[in-house]
Structure 1
Amino acid sequence: MAEHTPTIYEWAGGAPAFERLTEEFYRRVRQDELLAPMFRRMSAEHPKDVAVMLGEVFGGPTDYTDEHGGFKRLLSKHRHRDIQPEQRERWVQLILQAADAVGLPSDREFRSAFLAYIEWGSRGAMANSKHDAKPAERESLKIWGWGEASPGGA
């Protein structure tokens, strides 16, 4: 019998874990002097939407693509926001603090994969936020595994 390697989504605890993460994260964002202004018009559903997106990225259900507009919607949320390096760095800092606060797995393998995506994704969001950005023309989110993104963004 072949051994099943859990996805990062499964290892983290599935949808409930990502919902706890994003609720805690955006609670921190709302209180942060550097990030709060960027999110002042954030909808009440935004944390849940981000949880669904992260779930898909980490190997969970494809609900973000199927029900929320997928990669094109994700791009549209960052276009022309002109995210600055210090804002990106604070975003990373707060989501890592939120991961600790809600008890996401702390083993090195999980944290390495999680941080790798957070760094990669936040750098992409910052690049795509510039007024002259030429975003990728792919249709789907990158699915993140234990060490690398899947080929072709499947």
Structure 2
Amino acid sequence: MNGQLIPTLYTWAGENDRLEQLTAHFYAKVAQDEILAPVFLHMSAEHAQHVAHFIGEVFGGPKRYTETDGGSHASMVEHHIGKHLTEKQRRRWLALLLDSADEVGLPDDPEFRSALVGYLEWGSRLAILNSQIDENPITESEPMPKWGWGETGGPYNQ
């Protein structure tokens, strides 16, 4: 990047407004989806916003999830405990979220999408694992995950 600072994924994605737009759009689709609607039947009105704040924090943005929403990495994991999620549900969740990313205009450059898909794959596979157990394996002292550009090293720059 010719000596320029590499932006966080949060900044590159469009910051909080864009992430909230993404999750609102996504959860509107989920509510209409026969595979996922039953899983999210009892989600709070603030759920989409909390998920946007969680992703934003993981992607290097402000600590809205932990400081404003009162959440932690352990509390996010707790939402999945005992839900017995399936691979079919995980794949549908991923497909709808990636479709939503396109529909709300998240950056589509290969580097950002590689980082986004990498995070969503990692997180959704952990959600499956955690949904099969009865006790949270994460303690409140566990730090929030941090996700960056990974192997791509930053946004594409010709």
TM-score between the two structures when normalised by the length of structure 1? 0.90
Helix, strand or coil at the partner of 2:16: helix
Q: Is the 2:57–2:65 Cα contact (8 Å) retained in structure 1?
A: yes
Q: Is the 1:80–1:130 Cα contact (8 Å) retained in structure 2?
A: yes
Unaligned segments of structure 1, at least 5 residues: 149-154
- Matches of 2:30 and 2:106, distance apart in 1: 18
Q: Identity percentage over the alignment?
A: 49
Q: Is the 1:12–1:104 Cα contact (8 Å) retained in structure 2?
A: yes
Unaligned segments of structure 2, at least 5 residues: 152-158
- How many positions carry a matched residue from both structures? 148
- Matches of 1:13 and 1:107, distance apart in 2: 13
Q: Is the 1:56–1:62 Cα contact (8 Å) retained in structure 2?
A: yes
The structure richer in helix per residue is 1
1:143 equivalent in alignment to 2:146: yes
Structure 2 partner of 1:101: 103
1:15 equivalent in alignment to 2:16: yes
Deviations 1:5-50 (A, max 9, x none): 1000000100011001000100110010000001110111000000
- Matches of 1:134 and 1:53, distance apart in 2: 18
Distance 1:134 1:76, change over 3 A: closer
User: Of 90, 93, 111, which residue of structure 1 is paired with 2:92?
Assistant: 90
User: In structure 2, what residue type is equivalent to 1:11?
Assistant: W
Instruction: Answer with 59-68 or 43-52: which moved more.
Output: 59-68
Q: Is the 1:56–1:64 Cα contact (8 Å) retained in structure 2?
A: yes
- Matches of 1:128 and 1:19, distance apart in 2: 25
Structure 1 partner of 2:156: none
Give the CA deviation at 1:73: 0.9
- Matches of 1:69 and 1:23, distance apart in 2: 19
Give the CA deviation at 1:133: 6.2
- Matches of 2:30 and 2:116, distance apart in 1: 19
- Matches of 1:108 and 1:140, distance apart in 2: 28
Mapping 1:4-153, distance limit 5 Å: 4-67=5-68, 68-131=70-133, 135-137=137-139, 139-147=142-150
Give the CA deviation at 1:110: 0.4
* Runs of 4+ more than 6 Å apart: none
